[in-house]
C-alpha cells in the first residue's frame, strides 16, 4: 500500500521545530534531512517553489514522482534534481524515507561566476529534471558532498562551494543537449512566455509575443513549426498548461485566483480550457496529489 500523508500528518522528528528566520541563506538555500523537519521544509518549498531548483538525494524509500507529463520511479540510493517551473508531485513508498532535500536558487549558485560556468551551463538541456540511480560508490560520494552542504548551510560562501561541488557530479548525468538547437527567435519566444508566466503577467494570444520580437504572429508560428514541428499557439498552450500544473500542485491558490493569474478572467473558462489541455479538471488534477506531500 502507498501511504498518504496530509501536511500535518507527515512523520516528523520528535524534537522542536526551529523557528524560521528570514535570512539570506533561508531565502536562497535550504537543506534538510528527509526524515527531519519535513513540515518546515514543506512550508519553505511552498513559498519559493516556482523559482527554486529541488534536489532530492534518496537513501531509503523513494516512490513515484510526477514531473510535468512524465512519471519517474525513484529508487533507493538515487538522485533527482528538478528544475524550476516543473509541475512536481509524488506518491511515496511505504517504509522509511531517508536522505537529504535541498532547495536553492540559481542566483545563489551563480554568484560571482562567468556565464559559461553558471547553472544554466552546468545543467544544459531541455529536460525538466535529472534522475540517476547510483552505484554504491557514486551514492557514497554524493552523500558525503550533501552532508557538507547541510553542515555549511549557515555559512553562505562555504555552502555555495559545497553546492557547486555536489552539482559537479550531477553534471555528468545531465542529458546531452540536442545537436540542432532552436532559432534565436523561437528561444526568445519561449523564454518570454516563461518569464511572463512566472511574473503573473501572461498573454494567451500570440500578438504580444510577436510584437516584442518584431514579427507577425504568422511568421512566429512558421518559425516555431520549422524548429519544433508545433505551432507557436501549441507551444504557448503547453507553457500555460505546465504553469497551471505547477500552481495547482505547489500552491494553495483558489482555482479562480489561479486562473486569473494565468490570464483567464472567468473560472469556468479556465476549467474548460484546462480539461481540454490536460484531460482533467483543475480540481481533479490537484486532488490526486494533495494527500501525498
Residues carrying CATH 1.10.10.60, the chain:
184-290
- Phi/psi of residue 283, each to 5°? -65, -40
Evaluate if pTM is beyond 0.75: no
Look at residues 46, 125, 113, 115 and name the one whose alpha carbon lies nearest to residue 83.
125
Say which residue, 2 or 224, is predicted with more confidence: 224
3-state SS, residue 82? strand
Residue 160 is predicted with a pLDDT of 94
Residue holding cell 511568421? 219
Residue 9 is predicted with a pLDDT of 39
Residue 115 is predicted with a pLDDT of 86
d(CA 17, CA 264) in angstroms, rounded, equals 39
Domain 7-171: CATH superfamily, name plus number = Regulatory protein AraC (2.60.120.280)
pLDDT by residue (tens digit) across 189-242? 988 998 888 788 877 889 999 999 999 999 999 999 999 999 999 999 999 998
Q: How far is CA 139 from CA 36, 53, 70, in A?
A: 20, 20, 24
d(CA 55, CA 80) in angstroms, rounded, equals 6
Residue 76 has pLDDT above 90, yes or no: yes
Q: How far is CA 57 from CA 151, 207, 227, in A?
A: 15, 43, 36
Q: Stretch 241-258: mean pLDDT, rounded?
A: 88
Q: How far is CA 77 from CA 58, 132, 136, 282, in A?
A: 5, 9, 8, 34
Residue 256 is predicted with a pLDDT of 92
pLDDT by residue (tens digit) across 32-54? 898 875 545 555 555 445 678 99
Residue 91 is predicted with a pLDDT of 85
3-state SS, residue 99? strand
Calculate the CA 188 to chain-centre distance. Answer: 21
Residue 1 is predicted with a pLDDT of 41
Residue 182 is predicted with a pLDDT of 75
Residue 67 is predicted with a pLDDT of 87
Residue 292 has pLDDT above 70, yes or no: no
Residue holding cell 501572461? 202
pLDDT by residue (tens digit) across 255-265? 999 999 999 98
Cα angle for residues 203, 181, 113 (degrees, 5° grid): 85
Domain 184-290 has CATH 3.10.129.10: no
pLDDT band at 2 (very low <50, low <70, confident <90, very high): very low
Residue holding cell 516512490? 63
pLDDT by residue (tens digit) across 103-129? 999 999 999 999 888 888 888 776 889
* 139 torsion bin: left (phi>0), alpha (psi -120 to 50), beta (else): alpha
Residue 20 is predicted with a pLDDT of 37
User: Is 254:243 a contact under the CB 8 Å cutoff?
Assistant: no
Residues carrying CATH 2.60.120.280, the chain:
7-171
Residue 203 is predicted with a pLDDT of 79
Amino acid at each position: 500500500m502507498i501511504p498518504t500523508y496530509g501536511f500535518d500528518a507527515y512523520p516528523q522528528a520528535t524534537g522542536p521545530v526551529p523557528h524560521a528566520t528570514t535570512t539570506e541563506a533561508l531565502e536562497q538555500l535550504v537543506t534538510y534531512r528527509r526524515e527531519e523537519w519535513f513540515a518546515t521544509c514543506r512550508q519553505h518549498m511552498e513559498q519559493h517553489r516556482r523559482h527554486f531548483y529541488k534536489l532530492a538525494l534518496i537513501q531509503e524509500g523513494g516512490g513515484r514522482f510526477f514531473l510535468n507529463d512524465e512519471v519517474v520511479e525513484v529508487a533507493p540510493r538515487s538522485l533527482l534534481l528538478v528544475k524550476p517551473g516543473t509541475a512536481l508531485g509524488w506518491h511515496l513508498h511505504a517504509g522509511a524515507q531517508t536522505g537529504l532535500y535541498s532547495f536553492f536558487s540559481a542566483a545563489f549558485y551563480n554568484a560571482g561566476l562567468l556565464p559559461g560556468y553558471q547553472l544554466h551551463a552546468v545543467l544544459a538541456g531541455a529536460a525538466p529534471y535529472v534522475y540517476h540511480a547510483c552505484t554504491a560508490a557514486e551514492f557514497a560520494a554524493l552523500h558525503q558532498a550533501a552532508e557538507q552542504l547541510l553542515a555549511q548551510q549557515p555559512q553562505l560562501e562555504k555552502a555555495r562551494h559545497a553546492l557547486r561541488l555536489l552539482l559537479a557530479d550531477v553534471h555528468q548525468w545531465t542529458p546531452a543537449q540536442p545537436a540542432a538547437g532552436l532559432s534565436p527567435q523561437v528561444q526568445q519566444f519561449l523564454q518570454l512566455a516563461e518569464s511572463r508566466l512566472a511574473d503573473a503577467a501572461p498573454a494567451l494570444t500570440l500578438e504580444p509575443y510577436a510584437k516584442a520580437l518584431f514579427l507577425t504572429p504568422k511568421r512566429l508560428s512558421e518559425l516555431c513549426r520549422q524548429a519544433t514541428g508545433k505551432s507557436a499557439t501549441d507551444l504557448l498552450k503547453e507553457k500555460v498548461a505546465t504553469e497551471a500544473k505547477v500552481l495547482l500542485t505547489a500552491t494553495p491558490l483558489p482555482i479562480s485566483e489561479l486562473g486569473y493569474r494565468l490570464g483567464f478572467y472567468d473560472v469556468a473558462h479556465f476549467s474548460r480550457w484546462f480539461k481540454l489541455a490536460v484531460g482533467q479538471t483543475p480540481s481533479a488534477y490537484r486532488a490526486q496529489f494533495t494527500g501525498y506531500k
